[in-house]
Structure formats: C-alpha cells, structure tokens
Amino acid sequence: MKTLLCVEDDMIILKNNRIRLTDDGYAVLTAKNLAEANKQLSQSAPDAIILDIMLPDGNGLDYLTQLRANGNNIPVLLLTAWGKPSDVARGLRMGANDYLSKPFEYDVLLARVETMFRNVGRFQECVIYGELSLDMPSARAFFGGEDLGLKPTEFSLLLVLVKNEGKPMSAEQLYQKAWSLPLAGDKNALYSAVSRLRKRIDPIGYDIVLDRSDGYYFVKKRI
C-alpha cells in the first residue's frame, strides 16, 4: 500500500481527498500547513505528496524548491487554484512531477496520482540527489552533468550510501549491500574503498562520516 501526504488548507477538499483516496487503497496522511507537513515528513516516509501552493504559513512552490535542494526526490503533485499555463509551466520546472488545477474532478486526481507513480517507476534506474546523479545501468556518477569517474566499487558504495542518506549503516551492512557479500570480519577493503570515495566526493561538497557507535553516514557538507 502506498502512502500519500496531502497538504491542503481547505478542510473540505482535504477531508474528501482523504476519504476517497483511502477508499481507493492508499494510506493517507494529512497536513493543513507546511509546519504540519514537515512534522509528518519527520515522522514517516510517504511515497508521494499532493501539495497545495497557497498555504497559511508559506508557499508550496518555495517548499517544493527546498525539498529538491535538500535532495528529496519524493514525487509531488501540485493541486492548486493557480491554473494559468504559466503557473503550470513554472510548477513543473521547479520540480513538480505533475500539476492539477482547482476546481478538479476526483477521478482526474486519482488518474494523475496513478500515472505519477507509473512514471516514477520508469526512472528508478537513475538516482538523483541534488546535483548528484547516479546512473545504475552504466554505473557512472555525475555532478552537475560532469562524470566523476568513479571505479565500480566506489560507485556501488556511493549508491548504497545515497539511497540510505540519513540512515546509519554498520560496516557489515554497507559491505553486504555494496558487494552482495558478507564482510567476513576483514574491514580493510571497506575502509580503503570508503577512503577513496571520500576523496572523490569531498571537492563537490559531500562526505562520509563514520560514527563509531552508529555507523557510516552520507552527508552534504555545510558551507
């Protein structure tokens, strides 16, 4: 079951969407403003967001921009009263996966959500984190369109770390996921690979932090 976060300050629309989306097989989280949306995202990991633009405590487009700047690529459908062609174009260019203007028919909203998930599934071979792009078929990593020239082991490590960004990983977990082999007690190969990767990603503003009590973290360095 996929989970949707609906961010909407119109209580009638929010209630109706929650009831009907639930009836159609989705788990639905709700938020009346951006503060509640942030709280929901800190406590759970929805599969997509249905986001209003005009909200009591801010602008949904600004919120979307911040999500993308932080490397959050969760699918977002903008549902808003702003319906001019220029509004639609702006929303899509700022990172929305789809755009639906109010007033709307629920069946159209449902179809847009279903289509959005299908389209996202087609692009799972490429993992995007801010300006960092990881192409799985070719095992190549790009930053701002430039190939980082990673070796296969470095790419495997980076892919695992980016996919688990913010989640600590033990040496055993990291080795198992990157190489599909058990660590078998020898951590030297892992240490060497992590060290090489750190040198590669340091100039573009990323790091791999080792917390002895928790494990490895992939982080974006503060400037």
Per-residue pLDDT at 222:
67
Residues of the chain with pLDDT under 70: 121-125, 137, 185, 222-223
Cα pseudo-dihedral 63, 6, 132, 94, rounded to 10: -50
Distances (CA, A) of 96 to 79, 167, 185, 188: 10, 26, 45, 43
Per-residue pLDDT at 117:
87
Structure tokens given for 27: 């788990």
Topology (CATH) of 126-220: Arc Repressor Mutant, subunit A (1.10.10)
Per-residue pLDDT at 118:
82
Per-residue pLDDT at 124:
53
Which own/partner contact pairs does 169-176 have at CB distance under 8 Å and 24+ positions apart? 169/215, 169/216, 169/217, 170/215, 170/216, 171/215, 171/216, 173/215, 174/215, 174/216
Question: Which phi and psi (to 5°) does residue 168 adopt?
Answer: -65, 140
Topology (CATH) of 3-122: Rossmann fold (3.40.50)
CA distance 113 to 17: 12
- Measured between alpha carbons, how far apart are the two ends of the chain, in Å? 39
Whether 33 contacts 56, CB under 8 Å = yes
Structure tokens given for 185: 């007690």
Per-residue pLDDT at 102:
94
Per-residue pLDDT at 107:
95
- 11: exposed, middle or buried (Cβ count in 10 Å: 0-12, 13-18, 19+): exposed
Per-residue pLDDT at 93:
87
Query: pTM of this prediction?
Result: 0.57
Domain boundaries along the sequence of the chain: 3-122, 126-220
Per-residue pLDDT at 122:
52
